[in-house]
């Protein structure tokens, strides 16, 4: 059986979405989601934030979906990204590569 890497999260958009484009012209949207139901857990400055990345057609979704405070359901897969800063420090970040986004009422 192939490994399964799926997550479903609900929360509110916590940071302004940043849109940029890959060299091939495909859009990318990145934002942070403040998770619901984690008031007693402290990950980042007292808030439970997870970084979300939406690619391609999903990144072309109505921009109102990505406004601060908007409640969202995010489906996707976890990915850990690694990079090196200009100062030579190694960094990593766990993020969700979104495969589905929907507004919660």
Q: In this structure, are strands 49-55 and 90-103 parallel, antiparallel, or unpaired? A: parallel
pLDDT digits (tens, 9 = 90+) for 27-65: 999 999 998 765 555 554 557 889 999 998 888 877 777
Alpha carbon distance, N-terminus to C-terminus of the chain: 37
Find the CATH number of the domain harbouring 97. Answer: 2.40.50.140
Mean pLDDT of 75-88: 93
> Residue 11 and residue 32: Cα distance in Å, rounded?
10
Q: Residue 75: which domain range?
A: 7-103
Residue 1 located in a structural domain = no
pLDDT digits (tens, 9 = 90+) for 94-105: 999 999 999 987
Instruction: Indicate left, alpha or beta for 25 from its phi (over 0: left) and psi (-120 to 50: alpha).
Output: left
Residue 2 located in a structural domain = no
Residue 80 located in a structural domain = yes
- Number of structural domains in the chain: 1
Q: What is the pLDDT of residue 65?
A: 77
């Amino acid at each position: 059986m192939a490994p399964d890497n799926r997550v479903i999260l609900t929360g509110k958009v916590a940071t302004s979405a940043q849109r940029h484009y890959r060299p091939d012209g495909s859009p990318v949207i990145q934002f942070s989601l403040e998770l619901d139901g984690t008031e007693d857990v402290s990950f980042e400055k007292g808030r439970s934030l997870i970084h979300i990345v939406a690619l391609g057609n999903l990144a072309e979704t109505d921009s109102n979906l990505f406004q601060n405070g908007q409640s969202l359901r995010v489906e996707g897969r976890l990915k850990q990204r690694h990079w090196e800063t200009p100062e030579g420090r190694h960094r990593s970040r766990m993020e969700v590569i979104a495969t589905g986004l929907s507004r919660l009422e």
